[in-house]
Amino acid sequence: MRIIIVDDEMLARGVVREYLSEHADVEIVAECANGFEAVKAITELSPDLVFLDIQMPKLDGFEVAELAGGKTRYIFATAFDQYAIKAFEFHALDYLLKPFSQQRFDQALAHARANLGAGGEVVEKMVREATGRNKPLGRVLIRDGARVHVITADKIEHVEAQDDYVQIRSEGKSYLKNQRMSELEEQLDGEQFLRIHRSYIVNIAFVDRIEQATKDSHVAVLKDGSRVPVSRSGYQKIRAVIQ
C-alpha cells in the first residue's frame, strides 16, 4: 500500500510515520508539510491512501481533496472539528481525532484496506457537501496541472458557463474550472453575485451600468469594459439592486 502523509506539524507527521512502521506492507512515498505540496504529490504519485490533516494554513484538507480529485482515498485527521467528524461518519469515511493511539490508528488503517477498491465517489461527495456547508464561498481553487490558483471571491468579476466547466474572470485573467455553473452559484454569496443569464454570473461590485443592446435585450457593462448579456429575468434581478 503506497501512502502519503500530509500535516503541517512535523511531530504529527512523525507519529503517523511511527505507527506505519508497525505495518510491513506499506510504503511511505511522500511527506508533505502543506496543502500545495500535497496536491502536487497526490496528483503526481497517485498513492493508494493519504493521511490528511484538516487544519492547515493556505489550503486545508477539504481543499486538498477537492483539488487532487477523487481517485485517492483519505483518512482525515483533526484536532477539534466536530462538524467534519460528523460528515466523515455519515459517509463511512474514517478519521483520526488527535491525539490518537496506535490501536485507533490501526483500526482506521484496517478500515481503509477494506475499502480501497470502492473508488473515490464517496470522497468527492463528502468534499462537495463539506464545502457547501462552508457557504458562502470565500475563495475558489483552480488546479492547472501541478499549479494551484487561489482566487478570493471578491476578486471574481464574472463567471461564464462552458459545458461542464466554468470560466472565471478575475483581475484581467481567465481561469477554467471543472465545475457546473449551478453548483458554483449555490456556493457564492447571493448578495454579491447575481446570475443575470443562463450562462453568466456577475459580481455586482464590478458592474458599471446596464445598457440596452437591442429592442428586446440588454447587456451589463463591467468596469473593465467587458459586456455580459442579460436575460429578461436577469434584467429584472439586476435592476432591483443597481439603480
In the predicted model, residues of the chain with pLDDT beneath 70 are 70, 81-93, 117-135, 243
pLDDT tens-digit map of 173-222? 999 998 899 999 998 999 999 999 999 999 999 999 999 988 889 999 99
Which pLDDT does position 104 carry in this prediction? Answer: 94
**Does the domain at residues 139-241 carry the CATH identifier 1.10.132.10?**
no
List Cα–Cα distances, 90 to 29, 83, 100, 204, 243, in angstroms. Answer: 30, 11, 20, 37, 46
**CATH tag, 2-133:** 3.40.50.2300
Strand order in the sheet with 165-170: 173-177, 165-170, 156-162, 200-203, 193-197
Task: Indicate the domain borders of the chain.
Answer: 2-133, 139-241
Instruction: Provide the grid cell at 86.
Output: 460528523
Which pLDDT does position 74 carry in this prediction? Answer: 87
Strand order in the sheet with 49-53: 27-32, 2-6, 49-53, 73-78, 95-97
Which pLDDT does position 95 carry in this prediction? Answer: 81
Which pLDDT does position 223 carry in this prediction? Answer: 94
* 154 secondary structure, DSSP code: G
